[in-house]
Chain A
Amino acid sequence: MSIRKSRVNLFKRYVPLGIAALLSVVLFTGCSSNVSNVQPAGNKGEGTNSSMSAEPAKAEKISYRIGDIINTEQVNNFNPYLNTGNYRPLFDYVYDALYYFNPVKGELINRLAADSGTWSEDQKTLTVKLNTTAKWHDGEAFTADDVVYTFQVLKDHPVLDSYHLWSDTRLNSVRASSSDTVVFQLNNPFPSLTNYLTTVYIVPKHLFEKEDPETFLNKTPIGTGAFKFRNINESAILLDANPESYLGAPQITELVLQRFKDSPAITLALQKGEIQGTTGTIAMPSLPKLLENKDNKLQQFPGLSTFAVIINNDKPGLNDVAVRKAIQQAINREEVVEKGEMGAATVGNHGFLSQVFGSLVNEKLADDPSLQFSIEQANKTLENAGYVKNSKGIYEKDGVKLSFVYYMAANAPAQNKEGAMITGWLNQAGIATTIKMVTWPELTSLAMSGSYDLIQNGITVPADPQAALEVFHSKMTAPIGENTSGLNWARFRDSQVDEWLDEGSAANAEQRTELYKKVQARIAELAPVVTLYSSGKTPYSETSFTNYDTNVPATSVLSLVKVTKK
């Protein structure tokens, strides 16, 4: 009896554990396979009117949802002039600039400008006709006065003029020659002006002139855009369609910008169908699963965002071009794109200029043997420059050890994966790194002030090749400890590059192409940064909506005004 009893006891003791283990196995396998088989739930709960009529039913609400990471510190103001405290993609839906740079095709599209502008003989005056069918969301008419006011603010508050439009070599005056025409007067020829005009959202004079643009929070933004701001809560920013938009009335009635804390949550919501697209944020490792559903699409284009390992050229060790070259040669960018971005990005141009600029890109650099990935080459570069490996396998010269702090974004799986790969290669090449993870805003802050050795971050350039390359102009930088005035976070200074760029700002199209290619070659040679990839991508879903305009980013305003419910 005692033996049977102890067997029963054993049974009693271990079966519950077994049940628990079984449960977990079932959950694990069941869920991992189920997640791929599940059909996205679609836009539940919204009006589903399956009528065949061309016009949308009046009382029906058609809601399109975009998901993105929008933290509390990104919704403190809705003032397009301010660089911080707001969520920039919002402005494109609510406001317009005169022109829009389409990162898919690399072209300019007219928005509030009715034409592409007429240049004077001496190239110092640009006359732009305005699209006066546009109206402010509060019903007031849009006129040239609004445009003049918008640019005047930049002149009166230089701290807001991030692109230095007002300077001795650029804008002299902006005035309205009639209610629908604006004249830009320049001090020197500035062919890129129209590109720069894409960065300035036109604001309503009648509302902004009562406030101080530097501190105005603009909690209820009034713009001319295809969507009107309704309100904001903890879960989303809600926009109503503007039926009187000059782009045509949107076919959706509501645009929801849903707020998330990280990209995996966004990706899950997209997979379920709770959101229909994002402005680019996606958890790359989940991409293959997402695309197994044929209705989910990933639109890809080179874009204006170049991800790079940004090197602080002012730091000891990193101020040596041999070290930077070695870093450049030690990184396998193709593999970074393949494994980190799931192949959904374009391998970066060593000359930095994004492929979105088409013929201006220096294609020779792609095949240049000295720029290929090779750890041995990296070692040789360092050894030729007199570096010797110490006992720990780290290169050293004159007491300077090649050991650096490597910053990257926290809570960003793809970034972290790529960072791990890159630091792994650097290690193999005899360059030691200590990884530190910080938030995106902090990353920018460190870059601006130069408080870093190496940063893995994206540089989003203005929609202008000159401006893009001027990232490496010495006037765009500042010493360590001071915030840079431009995007020259790398603290790169080369008189030759400066010279070519200054020349190019006033040259004609052919000369500029020449000069830009020279600049790119020089950048590739001196490696102030190591470009990884250019990434423009828009994930979107065609399960419930169709008619996306893929000539532009599929979730940008120009596409969303055309999108209809299936």
Chain B
Amino acid sequence: MKIQLSYVVRRVVFAIATLIAAIIMNFLLPRLIGGDPAEMIASQTALGSAEVAEGLRKQFGLDNPSLIHQFGKYITQLLQGNLGISYFNYPVPVKDVLWNALPWTLGTVVIATLLSYAIGWLIGIKGALKPGSWFDNSALGVSFFINSVPYFWIGIMLIVIFAYKLDWFPLGQAISVDYDTLSPMGKVGSIVHHAVLPVLSLALASVASHILVLRNNLIRVLSEDYMVLARAKGLSARRRVFHYGIRNAFLPSFTGFMLSLGHVVGGAITMEIVFSYPGIGMLINNAILNHDYPLIQGAFLVIAVSIIAVNLIADLIYPFIDPRVNLN
């Protein structure tokens, strides 16, 4: 199975087309909601500076009612990396607002996703190899239970037990208040120490579905004929389980994993509230509630780009994982 260049090219072109569509949607959306952004700027005399407001209007072409003109200006600014200035965080540019919040989200959510899938897969595999055993039933029971409780309950429970009662971890926040006085090692330690509970809560909340998907797929695969044949061939258990079993059962889980990674940039707003953790989730939520259009647009654009990019990578990797995929 050779990956044709044509396949790669087609995927990339498709991704770019999707990106363009996303940009256009992003541009149109606030205008569709109703509420002329020009009006918003006019009434937002934040800092009371009319000249600055006027400058912004010109920059984004809002002085000209023509949508084409506005779109043109929007694209021009976009290509220069200017996502506008956040209304509610004036005068901080949208780019900076997002940039400050992004590392916190990426760090926690990405690690939580990786952890969640890794743990889920390990438990799922072990359960599938001995279905009906104590381990399998317990894992299933506990994961069904965790799956059915709301995320914030898990987060709060972790806080109450490990932060409040046992005092092993802080109640919340991303860093300790004396962060700036710490050595570089101390800083890293502070970040990690504060991130443990948020990451754990996110990982736990979603682990159930990862366990189930892989476990069930693996059980199905283990009953396939080629598994019987592999046993007949006298291959080692490791080879059978991995090359014949997991490599086949893994495919849907891989897809799910890539999709999850794509959505990481959307943040985890409930986690941010429960743990008073800075991140993009709450930022976007407040931006929406505040009608902070430039920030909303900027954030949605970043999310769209990230999902498209990750999907593209998934598309390019997938043929290596499942040779049966039709490249046409």
A touches B (Cβ under 8 A): yes
Which residues on A are within 8 Å of B, measured CB to CB?
9, 12-13, 15-17, 19-21, 23-24, 27, 31, 34-35, 38, 41, 44, 65, 71-73, 76, 82, 84-85, 157, 159-160, 214-215, 217, 231, 233-236, 238, 256, 258-262, 265, 268-269, 271-272, 274, 410-411, 437-439, 441-442, 445, 449, 481-483
Contacts of B275 in A (CB 8 A): 265
* Cβ–Cβ contact B137 & A265, under 8 A: no
The residue of chain B having its C-beta at the shortest distance from the C-beta of A265 within the complex is B276
Q: How far is the CA of A20 from the CA of B145 in the complex (A)?
A: 7
Other-chain contact of A84, B43, B46, B137, B141 (Cβ < 8 Å): B46
B184 interface residue, CB < 8 Å from A? no
Given A236-B177, A258-B177, A261-B273, check contact A73 B89 (CB 8 Å).
yes
Contacts of A85 in B (CB 8 A): 46-47, 89-90
Set B91, B139, B176, B180: member contacting A76, Cβ < 8 A: B91
B48 touches A160 (CB 8 A): yes
A233 CA to B176 CA in the complex, in Å? 9
Shortest Cβ-Cβ A-B pairs, 8 listed: A159-B48, A16-B141, A16-B138, A236-B177, A20-B145, A17-B141, A235-B173, A261-B276
Among B133, B163, B171, B175, point to the contact of A233 (Cβ < 8 A).
B175
Which residues of A are found within 8 Å of B174, using beta-carbon distances? 234-235
The listed residue (B92, B164, B179, B277) touching A268 by CB distance below 8 A is B164
Given contact pairs A260-B173, A271-B164, A410-B289, enumerate 7 new A-B contacts (beta carbons under 8 Å): A12-B132, A19-B142, A73-B88, A233-B180, A234-B104, A235-B179, A449-B43
CB-contact partner of B289 in A234, A236, A442, under 8 A: A442
- Minimum Cβ distance to chain B for residue A408 (Å): 12
Cβ–Cβ contact B141 & A235, under 8 A = no
1/0 contact string of B118-162 vs chain A (CB within 8 Å): 000000000000001110011111101100010000000101110
Please state if A27 and B161 are interface contacts (CB–CB under 8 Å): yes
**With A72-B283, A215-B49, A234-B175 as contacts: A16 and B167 at CB distance below 8 Å:** no
Q: What is the CA–CA distance of A429 and B104 in the complex, to the nearest angstrom? A: 48
Given A235-B173, A410-B289, answer yes or no on A16-B142 (Cβ-Cβ < 8 Å): yes
Q: Are B137 and A12 in contact (CB under 8 A)?
A: yes
Contact partners of A261 in chain B: CB under 8 A: 272-273, 276-277, 282
A/B interface sample: 22 pairs, CB < 8 A = A12-B133, A13-B132, A19-B138, A20-B144, A24-B149, A27-B157, A31-B160, A82-B47, A84-B46, A234-B175, A235-B176, A235-B177, A256-B177, A274-B170, A437-B289, A439-B289, A442-B289, A442-B290, A442-B291, A445-B290, A449-B43, A483-B45
- State whether the Cβ of B316 lies closer than 8 Å to any Cβ in chain A: no
Name, among A72, A215, A482, the residue most crowded by chain B CB atoms within 10 Å (CB to CB): A72
Q: Determine which of A76, A238, A445 lies in contact with B177 in the assembled complex, contact meaning CB atoms within 8 Å.
A: A238
Is there contact, CB below 8 Å, between A31 and B161? yes
* Interface membership of B97, Cβ < 8 A: yes
Contact B88 A441 (CB under 8 A): yes
Residues A439 and B141 in contact, CB atoms below 8 Å apart: no
Cβ-defined contact, A13 with B47, below 8 A = no
Interface residues on B, range: 35 or more
Query: Could you tell me the distance in whole angstroms from the C-beta of B314 to the nearest C-beta in chain A?
Result: 32
Is the Cβ of A159 less than 8 Å from the Cβ of B45? Answer: yes
Contacts of A159 in B (CB 8 A): 45, 48-49
Q: Please tell me if B52 contacts chain A, counting CB pairs below 8 Å.
A: yes
Q: CA separation between A155 and B139, bound complex, in Å?
A: 71
Complex Cα distance, B127 from A16, in Å, reads 14
Residues in B whose Cβ lies below 8 Å from that of A256: 177
**Cβ of A41: which chain B residues have Cβ within 8 Å of it?**
167
A20 in complex: contacting residue of B100, B101, B142, B274, CB < 8 Å: B142
- Contact residue among A76, A214, A215, A231 (Cβ-Cβ distance under 8 Å from B89): A76
Q: How far is the CB of A542 from chain B (nearest CB, A)?
A: 20
- A16 and B289 form a contact (CB under 8 A): no
Chain A residue at smallest Cβ distance from B175: A235
Closest Cβ of chain B to A90, distance in Å, is 15
A526 to B139, CA, bound (A): 65
Residues of B contacting A441 in the complex (Cβ-Cβ under 8 angstroms) = 88, 290
Contacts of B157 in A (CB 8 A): 27, 31
Q: Which listed residue (A27, A234, A483) contacts B43, Cβ 8 A?
A: A483
Give the chain B neighbours of A215 by CB distance below 8 A.
Answer: 47, 49, 52, 91
Q: Are B164 and A214 in contact, CB atoms less than 8 angstroms apart?
A: no
Alpha-carbon separation in the docked complex, A439 to B288 (Å):
10
Q: Which residues of B contact A34 (CB under 8 A)?
A: 165
CA–CA, A41 to B168, complex, Å? Answer: 12
Measured between beta carbons, the chain B residues less than 8 angstroms from A214 are: 47-49
Indicate if B18 sits at the interface (CB-CB under 8 A): no
Which residues on the B side are within 8 Å of A24 (C-beta)? 145, 149
Please give, as numbers and ranges, the residues of chain B lying within 8 Å of A76 by CB-CB distance.
89-92
Least CB distance from B4 to A in Å reads: 47
Residue of A nearest to B88 (CB): A73
Question: With a CB–CB cut-off of 8 A, which chain B residues contact A272?
Answer: 163-164, 171
Q: How far is the CB of A118 from chain B (nearest CB, A)?
A: 34
B276 contacts A259, C-beta separation under 8 Å: yes
Contacts of B172 in A (CB 8 A): 260, 265, 269
Is B278 interfacial (CB 8 A cutoff)?
A: yes
Residues from chain A with Cβ under 8 Å of B89 in the complex: 72-73, 76, 85
Specify which chain B residues have a CB less than 8 angstroms from the CB of A238 in the assembled complex: 177-178, 180
Task: Answer whether residue B77 sits at the interface, using C-beta atoms and an 8 A cutoff.
Answer: no
| Residue from B142, B176, B276, B278 whose CB has the most chain A CB atoms within 10 Å | B276
Contact B289 A268 (CB under 8 A): no
Q: Across the interface, which residues of B come within 8 angstroms of A438, CB to CB? A: 289-290
Cα A82 to Cα B278 in complex, Å, equals: 25
B residues near A481, Cβ cutoff 8 Å: 43
Q: In the complex, which residues of chain B have a beta carbon less than 8 angstroms from the beta carbon of A410?
A: 289
Instruction: Among B176, B273, B286, point to the contact of A439 (Cβ < 8 A).
Output: B286
Contact A274 B161 (CB under 8 A): no
How far is A268 from B273 in the complex, measured between Cα atoms in Å?
13
Minimum Cβ distance to chain A for residue B88 (Å): 5
Residues in chain A near residue B92, CB distance under 8 A:
76
CB distance from A183 to the nearest CB of B (A): 28
A20 to B142, CA, bound (A): 5
A527, B282: Cα distance in complex, Å: 37
The residues of B that contact A19 with a CB separation of less than 8 Å are 138, 141-142
CA–CA, A268 and B156, complex, Å: 11
- Expressed in whole angstroms, the Cα–Cα distance for A274 and B177 within the complex equals 11
CA distance A439 to B165 in the complex (A): 32
Q: Smallest CB–CB gap between B206 and chain A, Å?
A: 17
CA of A21 to CA of B45 in the docked complex: distance in angstroms? 55
Residues of chain B with a CB closer than 8 A to A17's CB: 141, 144-145
What residue of chain B has the Cβ atom nearest to residue A449's Cβ? B43
What chain B residues lie within 8 Å of A9 (beta carbons)?
A: 132
Q: How far is the CA of A410 from the CA of B97 in the complex (A)?
A: 22
A442 to B43, CA, bound (A): 13
Bound together, the chains give a CA A12 to CA B167 distance in angstroms of 36
A274 proximity list for chain B (CB < 8 A): 170-171
Task: Tell me how far the C-beta of B158 lies from the nearest C-beta in chain A, rounded to whole angstroms.
Answer: 11
A62 → chain B, closest Cβ, in Å?
A: 13
- Shortest distance from the beta carbon of B143 to any chain A beta carbon, whole Å: 9
B residues 42-57 near A (Cβ < 8 Å) are 43, 45-49, 52
Give the chain B neighbours of A269 by CB distance below 8 A: 171-172
Nearest Cβ in chain B — how far from A554, in angstroms? Answer: 21
Chain A: which residue is nearest B172 at the CB level? A265
Contacts of B171 in A (CB 8 A): 265, 268-269, 272, 274
Partner of A16, one of B100, B137, B286: B137
Min CB distance, A463 to chain B, in Å? 23
Enumerate B285-325 residues with CB–CB distance to A below 8 Å.
286, 289-291
Tell me the bound Cα distance from A24 to B167 in angstroms: 21
Residues of B within 8 A of A482 (CB): 43
In the bound assembly, the distance between CA atoms of A283 and B61 in angstroms comes to 45
Q: In whole angstroms, how far apart are the Cα atoms of A481 and B49 in the complex? A: 18
Q: What is the bound-complex CA distance between A58 and B91, given in angstroms?
A: 41
- Provide the residues of chain B in CB contact with A12, threshold 8 Å: 132-134, 137
Report the minimal beta-carbon distance from B195 to chain A, rounded to whole angstroms: 12
